[in-house]
């Protein structure tokens, strides 16, 4: 399992699913739509180990491309959590 944070979201990748992924679509999408933060390591797993923690925070664009690519062209291994402060209170007011 790989977890890392960008500015306002948390990315979780079930790297055990990377073993059977043929496309590695997440890394391709990250290169195409963002800054290439996500890579593939020597074992064929999604990784940010080639970046420092500071680089991950600075380079992360929070574009969600890796999650969509993995879901639709990969093995559905990526989850991105984007907390929205005050959302629960807003929904409660509207009810």
Question: Which pLDDT band holds residue 66 (cuts at 50, 70, 90)?
Answer: very high
The per-residue pLDDT for range 3-57, each reduced to its tens digit, is 999 999 999 999 999 999 999 999 999 999 999 999 999 999 999 999 999 999 9
Integer Cα distance of 79 and 59 in angstroms: 19
* Beta pairing partners, 93: none
Topology of domain 2-93, CATH: Alpha-Beta Plaits (3.30.70)
Integer Cα distance of 57 and 9 in angstroms: 10
- Cα atoms in the 13 Å half-sphere on the side-chain side of 34: 22
Q: According to the model, what pLDDT value does residue 25 have?
A: 98
Q: Where are the domains of the chain?
A: 2-93
């Amino acid at each position: 399992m790989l977890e890392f944070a960008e500015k306002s979201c948390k990315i979780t990748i079930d790297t055990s699913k990377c073993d059977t992924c043929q496309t590695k679509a997440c890394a391709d999408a990250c290169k195409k739509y963002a800054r290439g933060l996500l890579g593939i390591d020597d074992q064929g797993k999604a990784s940010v180990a080639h970046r420092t923690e500071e680089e991950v925070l600075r380079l992360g664009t929070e574009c969600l491309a890796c999650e969509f690519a993995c879901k639709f062209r990969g093995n559905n291994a990526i989850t991105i959590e984007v907390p929205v402060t005050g959302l629960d209170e807003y929904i409660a007011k509207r009810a």
